Copies of this chain bind each other. A is one copy, B any other.
Amino acid sequence: MTTLEKDKKIPQYRQLYEILRKHILEGIYKEGDLLPSENELCIIHSMTRPTVRQALSDLVNDGFIKKQKGKGSIVHQLPKGIGILSVAGTTSALSGQNLETRILVKPNVKQWADPFMFNLSEAEKNSGCIYMERLRLVNRKPLFYDITYIPNINLPRFTSRSFENKSLFDTLRGFYQIEVKGGEQKLRAIPANKEIGKYLEVPAGQPILHLERKIDTNRVGFCFYSSLYCNTEDHALFGIF
């Protein structure tokens, strides 16, 4: 095989989800619009109602539409802030904006910090972790200071890949067939220390939002971790629930 990629079948409901999501993001369906009814979507895309409903259910969970019995699927107003609180990497959360990524510390293998922000399995502890520091800028202003920890398990050539202009999520999916499934996060408001203040260009002591995240994937037992410092002075973090 010339490539590591396996051809994985994409489920029908997922394909429909992607199509509708794209159409909403492109503005083909605008805020307040009704999507075609479930029965119409069945006919258009040659699938049955349960399949269509699964796609719509995912769109509801991700905040793109809301449903009303008797009426239809209504396109939700798109988040104006930064949608990092749901399943999304920082790159996707900031899509459409003038985004720049600066690598502060290139991916390198090291030991896990002890204690670590989440409980680690023995397998994770023994394998060590790939460590990386990145800064994300929107319109030339630094917004995120992101420290990433990835277990060093079966990820050939990972440290030599570039992340300058590519999403970590895309890299994991493209080269290793790793899909993000969900995760958990802890939030705190903390004062910026000297180092964080330097990176985010704010005075020490200024309130900063700190997210500690554990991100689950489709590979059983494989999670990765992120410690994210976010300047919310200009941009609030946005989430749906």
Contacts and interface: CB of A to CB of B under 8 A. Distances in A.
Interface in A192-241: 205-209, 212, 216, 220, 230, 232-233, 236-241
Contact of A241 (B184, B188, B190): B184
B238 A209 contact: no
A182 B240 contact: yes
A186 interface: yes
A interface bracket (residues with beta carbon within 8 Å of B): 35 or more
Contact of A189 (B85, B208, B216, B239): B208
A61 interface: yes
Contact of A186 (B184, B206, B216, B237): B237
A232 B63 contact: no
Nearest to A186: B236
Contacts of A191: 206-207
B187 A220 contact: no
